[in-house]
Amino acid sequence: MLGKEGPEPLPANVLQDVRVQYARAEAALGPVRFEWVHDGEHVWIVQLHRGATESTRLRLTSGEANNWVEFDVGAGLAALRTLLAELPRNTGLIFKGRVGLTSHVADVVRKARVPAKMIN
C-alpha cells in the first residue's frame, strides 16, 4: 500500500479466477475495472468501476508533455504524491522501475491526469 514493492507474478489459478470474474462483469456492465482480493479459493471484488483503463504495458496514461521528469518507483507513494503536487504544467512522468497497472501508484497517476510512461 506504500508503493515501495514492485508487482509480483500471480499463480495461474488466481489469474484464471480473476479473468472469469472480469468476463462476467464485462458481460453485464460493459468495460470495467475493479479491485479484488483472493482468499485462496475465491475472488472477491471489493471495488468496481464502469469504464476501461487507458494503461498499457509501457504507458500508464496517455498524452504528451513538453518536459519529462523521472521518478524512481522505489521512492514510494508518498514521494509520488509530493512530486505530483509540485509538478509544473505540461510536465509528464517517466517511471524508473516496475509499476503494476492496477497498483496504487498507477491509480494516483491516472487520477492526477499526468502523462506517464514506464522504463524498466
User: From first to last of its 120 residues, what are the pLDDT tens digits of the chain?
Assistant: 555 666 688 899 999 999 999 999 999 999 888 889 999 999 999 988 887 666 666 777 888 999 999 999 989 899 999 999 999 999 999 999 888 777 888 889 988 999 999 886
Same domain, 42 and 65: no
Q: How many CB atoms lie within 10 A of CB 71?
A: 21
Same domain, 46 and 63: no
The pLDDT score that the predictor gives to residue 4 is: 61
pTM of the model: 0.62
Tell me if residue 35 falls in helix, strand or coil: strand
The pLDDT score that the predictor gives to residue 2 is: 53
The answer to whether position 114 is within a domain reads yes
Bridge pairing between strands 32-38 and 43-50? antiparallel
The answer to whether position 5 is within a domain reads no
Q: Is 48 in contact with 34 (CB distance < 8 Å)? A: yes
Number of domains present in the structure of the chain: 2
The pLDDT score that the predictor gives to residue 6 is: 64
